[in-house]
A and B are shown apart, each in its own frame.
Chain A
Amino acid sequence: MSQAHPGSQPVVVPFGDQALLCVLGDSIDEDLNRRVHRLAAAVGTDREREGVPWGAPVPGYASLLVPYDVGRLSLASATRRLERLVGRAEDEPAEEPDASALIEIPVRYGGESGPDLADVARRTGLDEDGVAQLHASITYRVFILGFVPGFAYLGRLPAQLELPRRDEPRPRVPAGSVAIAGRQTAVYPAATPGGWHLIGRTEVSLWDPDATPPSRLQPGQSVRFVASPR
């Protein structure tokens, strides 16, 4: 595990005139991400129990966006209050979904389901089965939800499979596509444009706006992909 800025202090900076950004680090790292979600929970508690006029916080891999009501909180007092919350959240134990409750996602690798699998194999020096086996051999963490509704950023992908995004994003990626980019993997919950490499597809539905919660995957959960016959 890479340790970005070991020992570095979290930084709180303005993100526009309506929100603060708390930066804890700049890498895809489980410990950093756990701290981000812990801080998000602390902000949520401060909003609900103490009536502090925060908006809903938005987690990134290693940073947290915290909107605030500028009619009720100055930049200086919002910054001070968030810095205090950061300090307190760092000292508390993490409350996370039970990581042992593994979510399994069946995947058909390659062929029409994964049009980029052959290319990924060529570029990583593996064969198609090797890529699929390696992808399915890891227990991934759900780091964040983002990009489009229910899109879960999973990591970390083995370094052997690390590739930059495609030069030309596809205008339309089919729903259920299982994709990789950098040290990340994900399932496209709906048909959207996308620049990741498509290596397979699943029938599992990950997003239903009328369900509670609407996203099947939640930050902190553990996910494994299981190869199903083509």
Chain B
Amino acid sequence: MSGMPGAAGPPRQVPLVDVRSAGLLTTIQDAGRPDAAALGVPRSGACDPLAMAAANLLLGNAPEAAVLEASLLGPELRVLRSGFVALTGADMEARDSDGGRRLGLGRTHHLEEGTTLVLGAAADGARAYLAVPGGFAVPIVLGSASTCLAGRFGGFSGRPLAPGDVLLANVDEAGRPTPSERVWPGPGPSSGVPAGVDDVVLRVVPGPHAGQLTADEFGRLLSTTWEVDHRSDRMGVRLATSAAPNRDRSAAAELVSLPMTWGAVQLPPGGAPIVLLADHPTVGGYPVPLVVAAVDRPVLGQLRPPHRVRFVPVDVAEAQAAWLEAERALDEAARRLRVSGVDG
């Protein structure tokens, strides 16, 4: 049940890092539990799936091997075994305590036993990803290593990391390339939101309740530049606007609970949208006038104040074409990492 391809027999597990400080919300995540939603189990998994895949591919892991996801303020981890790691996602100005060496994003780094990997506050984006060769080793629950925060299971003891936790990694030398100095080939997922960009464009398709809004309400959703609210979390990105007033409360009928998806833009009676992320409740009762295209999930997972967001409508065919193109680009990057030597 290691989730590692090509493993002959159960992989050996070794202590890899000791958590010195945990950061704001650092959890173990993989591709989550898309098959467990009918049990009320949120999907979980990395909020920026592209950054997770890149970190893993840099080390020769399967793209969905278990990684650490750090939110806004990263952890400090003492290294218990020398080896390579890969860092992607938000820039937390990672350093190696050994001489204070800055560790860049979108590449692998060799860390010596006894040093401490220090991730600070995110300078851009919301979530950083740390992958290790073979992936972090935790029990697989309902098909995934991901931390289910709402259900308090999965990941590391069903909770965010805490000081004193010792994380294990899978050791599976056979069938996997030996990690080495690698740089992510081409543009891309070192961070979903490029540094210095505050106005983010999210592609949206009409949601199942688009027709229930008045033309004015719908137009306002698309014409407003929304501010990302600080109450955003792994369940959803909360949006706000200082330009008032919101929709007429009486018009916002609550629906009988219906299934929800990652990227659904829920419109509660107050009129401030919530864009659902990987930990969203499986069902909800607010209307969904828009859904963020799946190709923009990585960007969505990196939103934080003071980012501002605009919705740009596309049709389903365009959204799917963009998704497939992104999948092809990821496959191509993975291929180049496999065939190229040092520094892709």
List residues of A whose CB falls within 8 A of some B CB.
13-19, 21, 23, 26-28, 40, 55-65, 67, 70-71, 75, 144-153, 190, 192, 207, 209-210, 213-215
Complex interface bits, B147-161 against A, C-beta within 8 A gives 1, otherwise 0? 010111110000000
**Residue pair B38, A57 in contact (C-beta under 8 Å):** yes
**Residue pair A146, B40 in contact (C-beta under 8 Å):** yes
Known: A13-B208, A70-B320, A75-B320. A146 touches B293 (CB 8 A): no
**Distance A57 CA – B35 CA, assembled complex (angstroms):** 8
**Residue pair B283, A21 in contact (C-beta under 8 Å):** no
CB within 8 A of B291: which of A16, A70, A75, A144? A16
Interface SS of B by simple majority: mixed
Whether, in the assembled complex, B257 has its beta carbon less than 8 Å from a beta carbon of chain A, the answer is yes
**Residue pair B294, A59 in contact (C-beta under 8 Å):** no
Can you pick out 10 interface pairs between chain A and chain B where the beta carbons lie within 8 Å of each other?
Answer: A14-B208, A26-B255, A55-B35, A60-B283, A65-B261, A149-B151, A150-B39, A190-B151, A209-B148, A209-B154
**Distance A23 CA – B323 CA, assembled complex (angstroms):** 26
**Distance A15 CA – B210 CA, assembled complex (angstroms):** 11
Contacting residues, chain A, for B154 (C-beta < 8 A): 209
Whether, in the assembled complex, B264 has its beta carbon less than 8 Å from a beta carbon of chain A, the answer is yes
**Distance A130 CA – B261 CA, assembled complex (angstroms):** 40
**Residue pair A146, B148 in contact (C-beta under 8 Å):** no
Chain B: CB-nearest residue to A20: B208
List residues of B whose CB falls within 8 A of some A CB.
34-42, 141-142, 148, 150-154, 205-208, 255-261, 263-264, 281-283, 288, 291-294, 316-317, 319-320, 323-324, 327
**Residue pair B38, A56 in contact (C-beta under 8 Å):** yes
Contacting residues, chain A, for B260 (C-beta < 8 A): 65
Contacting residues, chain A, for B207 (C-beta < 8 A): 15-16
**Distance A40 CA – B37 CA, assembled complex (angstroms):** 12
**Residue pair B208, A209 in contact (C-beta under 8 Å):** no
Minimum Cβ distance to chain B for residue A151 (Å): 5
Known: A16-B261, A18-B294. A209 touches B38 (CB 8 A): no
CB within 8 A of B151: which of A14, A19, A56, A209? A209
CB within 8 A of B259: which of A60, A70, A151? A60
Minimum Cβ distance to chain B for residue A195 (Å): 10
Contacting residues, chain B, for A17 (C-beta < 8 A): 205, 291, 293-294, 316, 319-320, 323
**Distance A30 CA – B261 CA, assembled complex (angstroms):** 24
Known: A19-B261, A190-B152, A209-B154. A56 touches B37 (CB 8 A): yes
Contacting residues, chain A, for B148 (C-beta < 8 A): 149, 209
Minimum Cβ distance to chain B for residue A71 (Å): 6
**Distance A182 CA – B31 CA, assembled complex (angstroms):** 35
Minimum Cβ distance to chain A for residue B79 (Å): 31
CB within 8 A of B281: which of A23, A148, A214? A148
**Distance A145 CA – B292 CA, assembled complex (angstroms):** 25
**Distance A149 CA – B279 CA, assembled complex (angstroms):** 11
Contacting residues, chain A, for B39 (C-beta < 8 A): 145, 149-150, 213-215
Minimum Cβ distance to chain A for residue B35 (Å): 4
Contacting residues, chain B, for A207 (C-beta < 8 A): 151
Known: A16-B293, A16-B294. A209 touches B259 (CB 8 A): no
Of the candidates B148, B292, B316, the one having the most CB atoms from chain A within 10 angstroms of its own CB is: B316
**Distance A62 CA – B258 CA, assembled complex (angstroms):** 7
**Residue pair B256, A15 in contact (C-beta under 8 Å):** no
Known: A19-B261, A28-B256. A149 touches B291 (CB 8 A): no
Minimum Cβ distance to chain B for residue A64 (Å): 7
Contacting residues, chain A, for B327 (C-beta < 8 A): 71
**Residue pair B283, A16 in contact (C-beta under 8 Å):** no
**Distance A1 CA – B181 CA, assembled complex (angstroms):** 66
Contacting residues, chain B, for A71 (C-beta < 8 A): 324, 327
Contacting residues, chain A, for B152 (C-beta < 8 A): 190
Minimum Cβ distance to chain B for residue A53 (Å): 13
Contacting residues, chain B, for A62 (C-beta < 8 A): 256, 258
Minimum Cβ distance to chain B for residue A41 (Å): 11
Contacting residues, chain B, for A23 (C-beta < 8 A): 208
**Distance A64 CA – B37 CA, assembled complex (angstroms):** 12
**Residue pair A26, B208 in contact (C-beta under 8 Å):** no
**Residue pair B142, A214 in contact (C-beta under 8 Å):** yes
**Distance A70 CA – B35 CA, assembled complex (angstroms):** 17
CB within 8 A of B41: which of A14, A61, A149? A149
Chain B: CB-nearest residue to A164: B254
**Distance A21 CA – B208 CA, assembled complex (angstroms):** 8
**Residue pair B40, A15 in contact (C-beta under 8 Å):** no
Known: A17-B316, A58-B37. A26 touches B256 (CB 8 A): yes
